[in-house]
Amino acid sequence: MFDTMTSTKILGAGCGALLLFLLGGWGAELIYHGSGGHGDGEEHAQGYVIEVADAGGAGEEEEPEVDFMEMMASAEQSSGEKVFNKCKACHKLGDGENGTGPHLFGVVDRPIGGVDGFGYSDVLASNGETWTIENLQAFLEDPKGWAPGTKMSFSGLSKPEDRADLIAYLQTIGG
């Protein structure tokens, strides 16, 4: 059995080891970052700055602007069906089969906010336009940017080819 003195020695050794561990971490932080820690509001200078000659913007080529309607002409419906997999968690394709989002049966050229009985966000319910190819393209690229306040939590499709393929696929559903 342990007596009080042995228990005190074990507890003291544990506390001493913990103290050494914490002091070692603080010392490493001080050496590595050069300050007392994060969140002190100061910007830390980089350790090494490598200066290079100005290339005159030669490395910054702008991507050529591609007309989306031209892209639609070469869109692939089969690829759009694969892209739709990102949508099917919330949207259904059957007429009247709403999910978390409204059904997408006949969505192309349907009035925005036009599914009866679906609880659209105010920005879409009061839009007054239709889901043209151009509107779908802009919405699918950045839903919250195109319709600020939309309930749709999807961040959008960054690739224009994916948007064109998806719209081409949706044109075949109920159209």
What mean pLDDT do residues 5-21 have? 94
Output the pLDDT for position 10. 94
The distance from CA 127 to its chain's CA centroid, rounded to whole angstroms, is 25
Residue 63 has pLDDT above 90, yes or no: no
Other CB atoms within 10 A of residue 103 CB:
19
Of the two residues 115 and 30, the one the predictor is more confident about is 115
Q: Using the predicted structure, report yes or no on whether residue 37 has a pLDDT greater than 50.
A: no
What pLDDT, on a 0 to 100 scale, did the predictor assign at position 34?
62
- Residue 89 tokens read as 């968690």
Mean pLDDT over all residues of the chain? 83
Q: Are 175 and 93 in contact (CB under 8 A)?
A: no
Say if residue 20's pLDDT is above 90. yes
- CA atoms of 75 and 65, how far apart (whole Å): 17
Statement: the pTM of the whole predicted model exceeds 0.85: no
Share of the chain above pLDDT 70, in %: 80
Exposure class string for 125-150: b at 16+ Cβ within 10 A, else e: eebeeebebebbbbbbbebeebbeeb
Assigned token pair, 146: 């195109």
Q: Are 107 and 95 in contact (CB under 8 A)?
A: no
Question: What's the fold here for domain 68-171?
Answer: Cytochrome Bc1 Complex; Chain D, domain 2 (1.10.760)
